[in-house]
Amino acid sequence: MPQRPQLPLPRRLWLVRHAESEGNLADREALRQEADRLALSHRDADMPLSDTGRRQAAALGAHWRTWSPDQRPTVVVTSPYERAERTARIALEEATWDIQLVRDERLRERELGVLDGYTKHGIESHFPDEATRRAWVGKFYYRPPGGESWADVAGRVRAFLLSARLDCGGERVVVVSHQAVILLFRYVLEDLTERQILEIDRGSRLANTAVTSYVGDGSALRLEAFNDTAHLHEQEEPVTNEPDAATVAR
């Protein structure tokens, strides 16, 4: 069957994990106390940035401010979750870039359904059947009740990239999103296997405001950098990498 001509991809793509959130701090404390659940004051979609997170977002913007006009993004798209959108807005303000921010719900964090907010210990204690099922099915395909698997999120990423061909072909695009979503961009863009993406996940935690970048020719995107935190070192801000509150049990 002959291949149909495809619309062009963006020629540059930067994937940014949100800055440190209050949920990240709750995760750290829950692990310290060996608690079953995180002590959360907001639902996942409304989780605000921590004080450190706001500084991290500003550090990213300060780094962006040094870019020449022909390096700058032409499109900025964010998860609608508070911690991601706020990261994008702080960074854009600090960079003094006048770029409209676009929200896209396909970039939201992976949903854990009934397991949301539980630690690994809490799931094993309160949902032993789910813990057993996850161990059997595997991390990539396991879908908690009312939630999503990694494969489900990969489907969202594929849909987003199709829209990017339609709306952002040849553009320079920044995406501000979440840890699992960014890993699944790698899975889709690099045509990785389940085993390969899980090996990447085991090998490194994605830092808050870390940048994963791709460069391309319109037909494909090539990985340029992964988990880059140079902007934090430049501004002497801490590198943090706790999982999100909704993904402690990843």
Residue identified by tokens 């907001």 is 42
Residue type, 180: A
Residue 185 sits in a domain of what CATH number? 3.40.50.1240
CA–CA separation, 120 and 248 (whole Å): 7
The predicted-structure confidence for 156-196, as pLDDT tens digits, reads as follows 999 999 999 999 999 999 999 999 999 999 999 999 999 99
Does residue 245 have a pLDDT over 60?
no
In a domain, 7, yes or no: no
Does the annotation count 109 as an active-site position? yes
pLDDT class of 218 with cuts at 50, 70, 90: confident
Question: Domains in the chain: how many in total?
Answer: 1
In a domain, 1, yes or no: no
Question: What token pair was written down for 30?
Answer: 């829950």
Q: Which residues pair with 21 in a beta bridge?
A: 49
Question: What token pair was written down for 180?
Answer: 């699992």
Catalytic residue among 18, 63, 178, 231: 18
In a domain, 204, yes or no: yes
In a domain, 166, yes or no: yes
Report CA-CA distances (Å) from 104 to 2, 48, 77, 156, 160: 33, 18, 7, 10, 9
In a domain, 3, yes or no: no
Residues near 32 by Cβ (< 8 Å), separated by ≥ 6?
none
The predicted-structure confidence for 117-127, as pLDDT tens digits, reads as follows 999 999 999 99
> pTM, whole model, 2 decimals?
0.94
CA–CA separation, 232 and 240 (whole Å): 10
Q: Which domain holds residue 26?
A: 12-247
Catalytic residue among 22, 109, 148, 237: 109
Q: At what angle do helices 150-168 and 179-189 cross, to 10 degrees?
A: 70
In a domain, 2, yes or no: no
In a domain, 6, yes or no: no
In a domain, 66, yes or no: yes
2 with 191: CB under 8 angstroms?
no
Q: 213: closest CA among 227, 201, 199?
A: 227
Residue 61, H or E segment: helix 51-64
pLDDT class of 250 with cuts at 50, 70, 90: very low
Q: 180: closest CA among 250, 86, 102, 106?
A: 250
Distance between alpha carbon 143 and the CA centroid of its chain, in Å?
A: 19
